[in-house]
Structure 1
Amino acid sequence: MSSSLRSLLENPQLAQQLLSEAQTRGFVTAMAAAPYLINPSEWLAFLWGGEETSPFNSQEELEAYANAVVELWNESREALLNGSWQWPKECALEDREIVTPQTREFSEGLLQGWQLARDDWETIMPEDSENSALLGGVLLCFSLLYDPENAMDALSAEGADSLAQFEEIFASVPTMLCGLTIRAHELASDDDE
């Protein structure tokens, strides 16, 4: 994430009105993974709650924010499509809370972004297709990481070593998310031809 975007997100006057850094990263990652490109003008306002009026004090501040978000989108899209995307360094597992707050917030942002692109995902990977299982697996991983307490209870009830399962889930997310994005891109490219 660029220092200009980070400083805008840390601005006390804006912090309560914008998604957190981790939520922003998650949301933008979801937009970057989407099978069809969605113009940032269609989703940028969701980063401040969907209000028509942005929380910025000036047009210049809004433009700096929008440019930094698009830059993050470009970086994320490239990393997803070349298979090099990794969790942001702040995202990790931890003993006490299972996941760091940043992991939970990233997952929340990604799931929010997925909702915006949901129709495209369901069109390109319909429910009865083999691709649907890949999409479902990725969404399940992020849902578990967003709500780890309930996930731990469910895994324990199934007799699984829940902490080991979480480690596997967390470790597999980059590969799964890259694979999903690449597959969606292939399917979307086939549709365009």
Structure 2
Amino acid sequence: MSSSLRTLLANPQLAQQLLSEAQTRGFVTAMAAAPHLINPSEWLAFMWGGEETSPFASQEELEAYANAIVELWNESRESLLDGSWQWPEGCALDDKELVSTETREFAEGLLQGWQLSRDDWETIMPEESENNALLGGVLLCFSLLYDPENAMEALSQEGADGLAQFEEIFTSVPTMLSGLTIRAYQLVSKGDEEA
């Protein structure tokens, strides 16, 4: 994440109106993973709650924010497609809380962003398809990371060692998310060739 974006997100006047840094990363990652490219002009306002008017004091500030978001999107898209995507700094497991605040917020942002591209995902990976299992697995992982207490309880009821399972889920996310993005890209490319 660029220092200019970090600075904007740390601005006390904007902090209450914009998604946090981890939520922003999650949301942008969801947009970068989407099967069809969605123009940032269509989703940028969701970064400040969907309001028509942005919370920025000047047009220059808004442009700096938008440019930084697009730069983050480009970095995320590239790393997802080449399989090098990793959890952002601060996202980790936590002994007391199971996951760090950053992990929980990243998962929240990603799940929010996924809602915007949901129809595209369901079109290219319909319920009956084997690809849908990959999509479902990724979404389940992020749902569990967003709500780890209930996830641990559910894992324990299944007789699993919740903590070990949780660690496995967290560790597998980068590979699964990159794999999902690459598969979606292949399906969309194939569809474009056939059209």
Structure-2-length-normalised TM-score: 0.99
Matched with 1:84 is 84
Corresponding position of 1:188:
188
For residue 54 of structure 1, report the CA deviation from its aligned partner: 0.2
- Report what 1:127 is aligned to: 127
Amino acid at match of 1:158: E
Q: Does 1:171 align with 2:171?
A: yes
1:90-129 CA distance string (max 9 Å, x none): 0000110000000000000000000000000000000000
* TM-fit CA distance, 1:161: 0.4
Aligned equivalents of 1:4, 1:188: Cα separation in 2: 34
Report the equivalent of 1:65.
Answer: 65
CA distance in 2, matches of 1:94, 1:48: 28
Unaligned runs of 5+ in 1: none
Point out where structure 2 has 5 or more consecutive residues left out of the alignment: none
CA drift at 1:63: 0.1
Alpha-carbon distance in 1 for matches of 2:2, 2:24: 12
- What is the distance in 2 between the residues matched to 1:108 and 1:37? 21
Q: Report the AA paired with residue 3 of structure 2.
A: S
- Provide the secondary structure at the position in 2 that maps to 1:6: helix
SS of the aligned residue for 1:53 comes to coil
- 5 Å-filtered alignment, 1:12-51, equals 12-51=12-51
Aligned residue type for 1:41: S
> CA RMSD of the aligned region, Å?
0.3
> How many residues are paired up?
193
- Following the alignment from structure 1 to structure 2, what is the Cα–Cα distance between the partners of residues 185 and 9? 31
- Give the aligned residue type for 1:64: A
**Matched residue SS, 2:55:** coil
Of all paired residues, the percent bearing the same amino acid is 84
Tell me whether 1:112 sits opposite 2:151 in the alignment.
Answer: no
CA deviation profile, 1:40-89 (whole Å, cap 9, x unmatched): 00000000000000000000000000000000000000000000000002
SS in 1 for 2:89: coil
Output the amino acid matched with 2:56: F
How high is the TM-score relative to the length of structure 1?
1.00
**Residue 192 of structure 1: how far off its partner (Å):** 1.0
How far apart in 1 are the matches of 2:89 and 2:66? 23
> Match for residue 156 of structure 1?
156
- Aligned equivalents of 1:32, 1:192: Cα separation in 2: 19
